[in-house]
Amino acid sequence: MEAGAAPSDLLIFGGGWLGRAAAREAVRRGGTAVLTSRDPETRRVLEAEGFGAIDPTDDVALDAAVRAATALLVTAPPGADGCPGLNRLVPSLTRTGAFPDWIGYVSSTAVYGDRAGGWAVEDDALNAASLQGARRVRAERDWLDAGQGMGLTVQIFRLPALYGPGRSPLDRLRDGTARIVRKPDQVFNRVHVDDVVAGLFASMARPRPGAAYILCDDEPSPADVVMEGAARRLGLPMPPEVDLDDPSVSDAMRRFYRDSKRLSNARAKAELGWRPRYPTWREGLEAMLADAGT
């Protein structure tokens, strides 16, 4: 594919928040997007938004979408049986003989486990400390093995906490669910959903079989610093401070606090020509405030 080009047809296994964002970008670039969901109502919503939508358990519909796709993106998380995208797409690729230009698997930086505040890069050993992280390690391995065995270009994207419109400290402050948890020396990166999508399309333009990329911002920061900065920007009182085991703290947030690490995005910058539009949480929050007219 030419640099900056979009695939003419993108099949996205997983019709969630990130999948929809990638689908919108594919359409914006003049391509098409088909997303999967097992839920009929979700498929109706996706179709109303102008996308194709299929049930991934429907072999006929899935095979047709795989044949038409020039790129496959897997955003669905793995479960006890492995990656659901791999479990459905590899048999479909085998049945159809399809040969997409690019396959992207969205993973998590949980694969690195805790680094005690140290840096993590793509070639570091994977040492997941959670069940979710261990499942990501397995899914990455399975996708890379499948790509090598079938001669397909598979790329891995390791993401930290995603944020964006509707899913950010600003939203939690406004709806009253924000909490501050203080854990000394704890830091992690985050990444705006638009920067993730930009990284995915940059990879489609410059594919490298078997490559893994960390897509993250440029400034690892403690969560309490980000929340306090967001509250000050909105002119709202600071949210209550709670312990990590408080029932108001979500399981997902506890997982983030379990690990402390700094992430390098140097490889994505060097190989993909990618730069985060929002290099820190400050630019990301300011852009959302600007869009909202705040």
Total number of domains in the chain? 1
Q: Are 18 and 193 in contact (CB under 8 A)?
A: yes
Please check whether residue 174 lies inside any domain of the structure. no
Helix (H, G, I), strand (E, B) or coil at 64: helix
Q: Does residue 252 have a pLDDT over 90? A: no
Please check whether residue 200 lies inside any domain of the structure. yes
Please check whether residue 212 lies inside any domain of the structure. yes
Out of 211-215, 255-259, 260-264, which region has the weakest mean confidence (pLDDT)?
255-259
pLDDT single digits (tens) 103-124: 999 999 999 999 999 999 999 9
Q: Does residue 237 have a pLDDT over 50? A: yes
Q: Does residue 3 have a pLDDT over 80? A: no
Q: In degrees to the nearest 10, what's the CA dihedral of 26, 28, 29, 30? A: 90
Q: Does residue 2 have a pLDDT over 50? A: no
pLDDT at res. 1: 39
User: Which has the closest alpha carbon to 255: 172, 175, 135?
Assistant: 135
pLDDT single digits (tens) 9-56: 999 999 999 999 999 999 999 999 999 999 999 999 999 999 999 999
Q: Does residue 6 have a pLDDT over 50? A: no
Please check whether residue 85 lies inside any domain of the structure. yes
pLDDT single digits (tens) 66-99: 999 999 999 999 999 999 999 999 999 999 999 9
Q: Does residue 243 have a pLDDT over 90? A: no
Q: Are 282 and 229 in contact (CB under 8 A)?
A: yes
CATH number at residue 72: 3.40.50.720
d(CA 286, CA 266): 24
Please check whether residue 1 lies inside any domain of the structure. no
> Which structural domain, as residue segments, surrounds residue 58?
9-164+190-221+262-277
Please check whether residue 294 lies inside any domain of the structure. no
How far does Cα 180 stand from its chain's mean position? Answer: 24
Please check whether residue 68 lies inside any domain of the structure. yes
Pairwise pLDDT comparison (248 vs 184), residue with the higher score: 184
d(CA 8, CA 181): 45
Please check whether residue 169 lies inside any domain of the structure. no
Share of the chain above pLDDT 90, in %: 87
